[in-house]
Structure 1
């Protein structure tokens, strides 16, 4: 646990985002950061919440509203590598989500997640207050 927090401190020092390290909730749920993404100005709306936990896990909740609504819950582990967060997906409530790695970087309080389907694009997550 101390090694993971030390790695996190290095990541925060590299990105300059000291305001992202805070704890909320009970002692078993210490958050490194919480972000939210909204996409789709047209008829298809998508939202996603990403929680990065101090114990090395992350949780992502994706909801898409179109003709019907569906929700995907994704979980996994994270680590720091070269100033980026590397999210390793290890589980979900859907067979459509396969184990994979995604990378993200923090810039000006926003989390930029590299789109797993198109590496030239990023999904922008705003910092969530709650």
Structure 2
């Protein structure tokens, strides 16, 4: 599976608040094509980013990691964003787009969600 960057976020989409605030809020991401991709985290399945490395070719995965600003923890081997938040991915719009997100509880009952990048899938 080949991927290409579907948008260049001028700034990363960031949402914080209660768990319900974060997972229920519809995200609207402007894509390079001019389309707007709209979804809520509650409507998609989040998967560990490490498992994506088994599903796409190595050069595409490495490009995704670099473009999304992810770092692999030497201690745990897990990918995290610039703020140290755990990173996941979701397939959106019937599997047409791959959205890289970081979601974590940053304080008791306070969550943060950050969209790192959006990729278009091509076979």
Q: Would you tell me which structure has more strand in proportion to its own residues? A: 1
TM-score (norm 1): 0.29
Which fold has the larger relative contact order, with Cα–Cα distance below 8 Å and residues 6 or more apart in sequence?
2
Write 1 or 2 for the structure with the bigger share of helix.
2
Q: Which has the larger radius of gyration?
A: 1
